Structure 1
């Protein structure tokens, strides 16, 4: 009986295939778990885990466990190697001469050009940069010299570099994660553009892409030309912020960049072309059977097109799956679609485990996985069945991907399913093929592509006004606050529950599992309490002050000529992530750009019903910020301490000083006032300077934080808003030492990221963004620079 029992068990529990869905899911789980760690484990431990996983892969029942360990170790070793390749501390800020090639497509802006540069790997180059990829900027008002920066050209110039750094805010992008995923070793700028020398003309695939994009722009003068370039070549440089906002609102961003469906179209065309060639010349079948030739054409077309359009994750994923299907047919093995998807996932992760750091990886694989899970393989024939399958696919994709889009982008498009019903078939089956035919025709002969591109633009313009109206509707999109870690798995479980077969009892109870994602806790202060968030805006200032039912924004960060707008990049995303629905008041402390530059971007997202600014400020408000002005919100008292009526506008010294007082403590926002105003306040209103929390005046400059003023505040927390490695070297060491010796803990946004402080019945509570969301790629944390400039461990950091 024992052999029969063993045979029966084997029939019930078949061996787990090495490239099956279970192993793919385990490998993905291991890679993801590693990249979510706050710090990398020691290399010896990762090597030991990788070696220990290999025996498990040979045992069918333990294969997923082996894949899990292998994924964790493999991703850790890859991440460690990429982090080690970044610019060392000793080379930061130095002037270095480099030589190499421009890769990908340069982005030309009003006063700068951004481009990626691959340094030559030879002995003449700086040791720390040999063979590395840099993200550079060329600053110059005259665009003509910068326009010579072409993809594929070779250059030599002096640069000033630093390791990748970025702002850290709730809801903001993570530049350091992007740099790690892209293997960028350093960022910087061309130090002396006049000394730049072009060594060779553009050459290679990137040069061809840029030249073809320029031909489309010349052939199609209509505004829709920028979309034809994006759909045909993946060149999205001409799309501005307003275009992307509309595409996000309509849920169409996945169609604009080159998608997997585009690769499938090209692969199908190449397969048909190869089959036709074999049909026209039958003797070729003696060398290679026609089905094999068609498969080879599909693989070459898929990978060739993915290479020509920049090798994005969706294109590479589709090309890998096409190759798997062709290989299975050549080997005369039948593969399920789920097995093909699993094989594509495993191959991609083995090629680049850091691909999971990009949103495209999750959206592309999750979308296909949801469709495979929820839709039947055979849907019948006929137009009605095709339409039913298309509608069902849209419903499944919209519901299944909603949790990911909320987590990745902090927003949900409610009109996305409607817009996709029209855009997916029209763009994918009409606009994209016309654009691709134009590319092919232009490659064969210059000028042949023009009618195809013009036809593509005309077809695009037929539908775009309708899609734009949908995107501009008030209910198109909702911004959602940042949620807890458990919100995503609960929402995915809910979506799975809702998509189970009909008739299952209690399906609609699954909607309750969406609540942690769609309505997360906002951690608002209670009645009579206040919360301050010093947003990380670089070298500037922006502070959000919230009471139980009101919000005030004090300053809005800089907007620089090079295109960086802290209002758009930092302040608005942080307000959305923190769940701010409206701003009841804004205060512009004074007219300097580093405090008022982001106003336009903030006002575009949040109407500003009342704006206080000093009299005479170039950044004017609709009411004057003046001494004696006061109001009360939810039991919290606000009082303006400076400037007084009749005080002339003197720039920094005219900055609006605001005191916030609760029953449990107080805070002082000082703008950029210096010693003169500090001493004036000491003489005239010293009692109101006493505060538990002080935003240090003028970013910690030498001309502020008078010793008597520091002592008069009695601050427990002194918060500095400064940019990393700023040219002013703020905060100055003597100023920091002054606050520390007075008994305050000093924190700086360049080290801590955004700083949130609650003033309530529990005293002061503090949260630093970099420590709260610790990531292994964090440049500041890896170099031991995250601790406060002087640290007070008694504060509760939730």
Structure 2
């Protein structure tokens, strides 16, 4: 099974898939080797490596075939950003927010004006993710009808192929979409309410029966009951997450607290909760089954109580996982519990390692992309660590005295918590670059409260009739509120979280060996030395350029700008990307995760070029979570960003400084522009030139043709640069021919969003750069772009150097 997982994991690192013919050939030879292994007995020295290799090849072939099957559906390129009409059903629990709603849509029929029915296209996606905005861009929210799971709708939409931000150490949205079998995303186009206008968006049926629709509809009803009982309650979203597994209503601020104190795994239908609920029902069935003699039923004579309890627990887990919408993490837990139940029924429970390995294999067979999820590794590693650290204790005879049994239980629970906290340290640092120091204390409080009080109250309250349901849900909310207040206090402690740069794989291996040494049985010699193996992992610092060198990373933030400039001992963030909503922005979604993964805990300067949302949208999140010595902006002094800054300075032409042999100079705006009211924010963009001894880069913000002309005639010599950040994302109002002639860059970077609504960069402007012989890179195609300024310029593109077969390139 370990070989099988290894083969699947290797496949998920590939830039392209093998052809069907090669996969069939690999399968044939694997089966031939399997026959030989069964025919000729090999010794342990050869047999075990041979079986591991064979399983790895079969795992690779299986995952490849699985990927080929799901990638066969693809939105044709020519239909991207085109209006089409879809007929289908609401296939998921809709998420409603201030501007509209999001949901998955199961496609039954596809139509287009002037073309007719497109359903005959074999590759058309069978399921898409849609957003239906109503309050955005001055639209009338009344045009948006709240959809419900199972309804059949006709919708006019614009779709695009799966595409997400691609950054080092960041979340892979495209892999997540593939795992969810969502092969396109898009938005619903609003109808025009005019006389004789065609109304495309209309409901065709109230409910279309299917097992999936029944489950999703039930989840929606339970969520509505919780909201009806807890209107305007701050932690109603937590109870929704515990009952139906929908975490989207929990604000990002709460998630920050939960993750800092290390209880994020509890705020959902997690494996712990599924196991707890299944275990409670199994225990109840076991007790009633054993005592059925008092009712004259004699059930244990017909079926052993252990088997009845295992069956009841597995069925309860199935029901609870269905409540979670059969989410993939919940599916993993269901498979684990089902394997245990089958082991009990077949009398094969003697080896827990065999049960765990079988579960591991079944999970990756059912979902080969599970190996890309941190939750997959964390869940199996936690169980393995508990078994390793507490091995053999299950055979200890419990004492007869109740007090002694309680002390033994407390000791066992403490040992388990200690083993999990210490044992998961290497993997947690490898996956997240941080560990919660106060996690043991927070979990000691939160696990019993959430698992044995809040979750049962929320589950029972969501299905009981009113007013009992309201009382139970309000009591559950009170406990969550009390817990949240405690966690907020813990999270605010300065030592709550230990952060470091994400380690390499070999540091993970070294630390893991040290942890195994530390958690070995008591007779093992010098166990404390295992901690020494963890020190390189915990004390690793982020990589920095050498003196006189510069590293620039243009992050992929969609339609916006955000660049991190690093010298040997200083860091400057130029712009912070777009704000995506009231509780989401590029600062929290892209920039902060990148900084934390790199082990960067402070910034010397944050420069916001101007006030437009696509440049300043993430600034407040940065200021809230990372110490910034100086904020340099062109914003008005009453801006929330300026007010939140610990030290603020307006960027003015002529400002200059040197860091570690690298020269920084602000070229515009002039001081007089702040006194004028005729200029819009673009015209007041902070223009920054950064130069080493050999190379230079010009960051031009969103300046337009007038400002370009002013710079050309006032400081032409200072504009020359090897690399140019294309002004205004390559809009038609910038990048004039005289400006490009004076700057004369070798490379231009366009920070733009995929199929953005502004159509940046404009084709004629993009071609203008090519006509001047300038190499062009754009973040929607390259992902994050990194540039090393040393003896020569070295450029790397994230999508090219970390290519995966699911990338849309």
Map of 1:295 onto structure 2: 310
Q: How many residues align?
A: 753
Asked if structure 2 preserves the Cα contact closer than 8 Å seen for 1:170 and 1:578, the reply is no
1:655 has 2:685 as partner: yes
Asked if structure 2 preserves the Cα contact closer than 8 Å seen for 1:391 and 1:421, the reply is no
1:573 has 2:593 as partner: yes
The CA deviation at 1:734 is 3.6
Could you report, residue by residue, the CA deviation over 1:274-313 in whole angstroms, capped at 9, with x for unpaired residues? 5537654628778766654443322222212211222234
Map of 1:779 onto structure 2: 808
Could you report, residue by residue, the CA deviation over 1:536-580 in whole angstroms, capped at 9, with x for unpaired residues? 111111122222111112111111458652222222222323333
Asked if structure 2 preserves the Cα contact closer than 8 Å seen for 1:139 and 1:562, the reply is no
Map of 2:166 onto structure 1: 168
Q: 1:286 to 1:383 in 2, by over 3 A?
A: closer
Map of 2:42 onto structure 1: none
Q: 1:447 to 1:43 in 2, by over 3 A?
A: farther
SS state at 2:24 partner: helix
Q: Aligned equivalents of 1:224 and 1:656: distance in 2?
A: 41
- The runs of 5 or more residues in structure 1 that have no matched partner are 1-23, 781-798
- Corresponding residue to 1:152 among 150, 153, 159: 150
- Corresponding residue to 1:137 among 131, 142, 151: 131
1:722 has 2:745 as partner: no
Map 1:622-633 to 2 at 5 A: 622-633=648-659
Q: 1:504 to 1:200 in 2, by over 3 A?
A: same
Could you report, residue by residue, the CA deviation over 1:465-491 in whole angstroms, capped at 9, with x for unpaired residues? 323311222221244334334333333
Asked if structure 1 preserves the Cα contact closer than 8 Å seen for 2:251 and 2:583, the reply is no
SS state at 1:321 partner: helix
Q: 1:218 to 1:63 in 2, by over 3 A?
A: same
Map of 1:599 onto structure 2: 619
Map of 2:90 onto structure 1: 102
Q: 1:298 to 1:729 in 2, by over 3 A?
A: same
Asked if structure 1 preserves the Cα contact closer than 8 Å seen for 2:127 and 2:184, the reply is yes
SS state at 2:393 partner: coil
- Corresponding residue to 2:214 among 201, 204, 214: 204
Map 1:539-578 to 2 at 5 A: 539-561=559-581, 565-578=585-598
- Corresponding residue to 1:45 among 12, 22, 27: 22
1:399 has 2:425 as partner: no
Range that drifts further, 367-376 or 448-457: 448-457
Map of 2:401 onto structure 1: none
1:347 has 2:387 as partner: no
Asked if structure 1 preserves the Cα contact closer than 8 Å seen for 2:705 and 2:736, the reply is yes
The CA deviation at 1:251 is 0.6
The CA deviation at 1:160 is 0.9
Asked if structure 2 preserves the Cα contact closer than 8 Å seen for 1:655 and 1:672, the reply is yes
Q: Aligned equivalents of 2:241 and 2:384: distance in 1?
A: 26
SS state at 1:637 partner: strand
Could you report, residue by residue, the CA deviation over 1:65-123 in whole angstroms, capped at 9, with x for unpaired residues? 32211111111111222222232323322222112222332111111211112223799
Map of 1:537 onto structure 2: 557
Map 1:663-702 to 2 at 5 A: 663-702=693-732
The CA deviation at 1:140 is 0.5
Map 1:174-193 to 2 at 5 A: 174-192=172-190
Q: 1:237 to 1:570 in 2, by over 3 A?
A: closer
- The runs of 5 or more residues in structure 2 that have no matched partner are 39-46, 112-116, 192-198, 208-212, 399-404, 643-647
Map of 1:645 onto structure 2: 671
Q: Aligned equivalents of 1:159 and 1:177: distance in 2?
A: 23
Asked if structure 2 preserves the Cα contact closer than 8 Å seen for 1:754 and 1:768, the reply is yes
The CA deviation at 1:714 is 2.9
Q: Aligned equivalents of 1:515 and 1:701: distance in 2?
A: 50
Map 1:424-443 to 2 at 5 A: 424-439=447-462, 442=464
Map of 1:320 onto structure 2: 335
Map of 2:776 onto structure 1: 746
Q: 1:143 to 1:481 in 2, by over 3 A?
A: farther
Asked if structure 1 preserves the Cα contact closer than 8 Å seen for 2:125 and 2:184, the reply is no
The CA deviation at 1:458 is 3.4
Map of 1:69 onto structure 2: 57
Map of 1:115 onto structure 2: 103
The CA deviation at 1:163 is 1.0
Range that drifts further, 549-558 or 267-276: 267-276
Q: Aligned equivalents of 1:244 and 1:599: distance in 2?
A: 19
Could you report, residue by residue, the CA deviation over 1:611-660 in whole angstroms, capped at 9, with x for unpaired residues? 22337688575322222111222222211112223234343222221111
Q: Aligned equivalents of 1:744 and 1:531: distance in 2?
A: 21
Q: 1:373 to 1:290 in 2, by over 3 A?
A: closer
Could you report, residue by residue, the CA deviation over 1:379-413 in whole angstroms, capped at 9, with x for unpaired residues? 54322221121111112212222233333333321
Q: Aligned equivalents of 1:702 and 1:384: distance in 2?
A: 74
RMSD: 2.8
1:413 has 2:436 as partner: yes
Could you report, residue by residue, the CA deviation over 1:390-437 in whole angstroms, capped at 9, with x for unpaired residues? 111112212222233333333321111221122222322222223333
Q: 1:299 to 1:578 in 2, by over 3 A?
A: closer
Q: Aligned equivalents of 2:308 and 2:11: distance in 1?
A: 42
Map of 2:246 onto structure 1: 235
- Corresponding residue to 1:88 among 65, 71, 76: 76
Range that drifts further, 686-695 or 329-338: 329-338
Q: Aligned equivalents of 1:367 and 1:487: distance in 2?
A: 19
Map of 1:18 onto structure 2: none
Q: Aligned equivalents of 1:234 and 1:728: distance in 2?
A: 37
Q: Aligned equivalents of 2:345 and 2:591: distance in 1?
A: 55
Map of 1:490 onto structure 2: 510
- Corresponding residue to 2:271 among 257, 260, 268: 260
Q: Aligned equivalents of 1:403 and 1:720: distance in 2?
A: 38
Map of 2:319 onto structure 1: 304
Q: Aligned equivalents of 2:753 and 2:348: distance in 1?
A: 58
Q: Aligned equivalents of 1:331 and 1:733: distance in 2?
A: 67
Q: 1:706 to 1:316 in 2, by over 3 A?
A: closer
The CA deviation at 1:516 is 5.3
The CA deviation at 1:521 is 5.8
Q: Aligned equivalents of 1:295 and 1:696: distance in 2?
A: 63
Q: Aligned equivalents of 1:481 and 1:81: distance in 2?
A: 37
The CA deviation at 1:157 is 0.7
Map 1:515-530 to 2 at 5 A: 517-520=537-540, 522-530=542-550
Q: Aligned equivalents of 1:667 and 1:515: distance in 2?
A: 38
SS state at 1:118 partner: strand
Q: Aligned equivalents of 1:198 and 1:282: distance in 2?
A: 53
Asked if structure 2 preserves the Cα contact closer than 8 Å seen for 1:483 and 1:521, the reply is no
Q: Aligned equivalents of 1:628 and 1:131: distance in 2?
A: 55
Q: 1:693 to 1:511 in 2, by over 3 A?
A: farther
TM-score of the superposed pair, with normalisation by structure 1: 0.88
Could you report, residue by residue, the CA deviation over 1:126-185 in whole angstroms, capped at 9, with x for unpaired residues? 335767221110010155664622233332211111111001123322110111111111
Asked if structure 1 preserves the Cα contact closer than 8 Å seen for 2:691 and 2:697, the reply is yes
Q: Aligned equivalents of 1:306 and 1:99: distance in 2?
A: 29
The CA deviation at 1:745 is 2.1
Range that drifts further, 324-333 or 771-780: 324-333
